[in-house]
Amino acid sequence: MKYGVTNKYTTGHFTLRDGFEIPEGTPVVWGESNCKGELFPYWTLPVEIAMQLSGNRHDSMHRFVVVHPDHVTGVKESV
């Protein structure tokens, strides 16, 4: 997995009807496992952060919040 932070203010959502703010400096992760245990090849918010920012506990646990790669910096590989 890789870890980084957002480099600008952006928005996140679970569906097209629900949007929420993602501040600059928010931690993100690349390579979380999906429900089948397969690598999800996108930058996403960790579950806990998605819950905190969206106020939506259910969707945060069952859906990814994808962050555009141009909005990510400070990338570090896990060891």
- From first to last of its 79 residues, the chain has per-residue pLDDT tens of 899 999 999 999 998 788 999 999 999 999 999 888 899 999 999 999 999 999 999 999 999 999 999 999 988 987 5
pLDDT the model gives residue 78: 74
Whole-number pLDDT of residue 17? 81
Between CA 70 and CA 76, with CA 20 as vertex, the angle to 5 degrees is 35
pTM (2 decimals)? 0.88
Which residues, 6 or more positions from 56, have their beta carbon under 8 angstroms from its beta carbon? 14, 18, 50
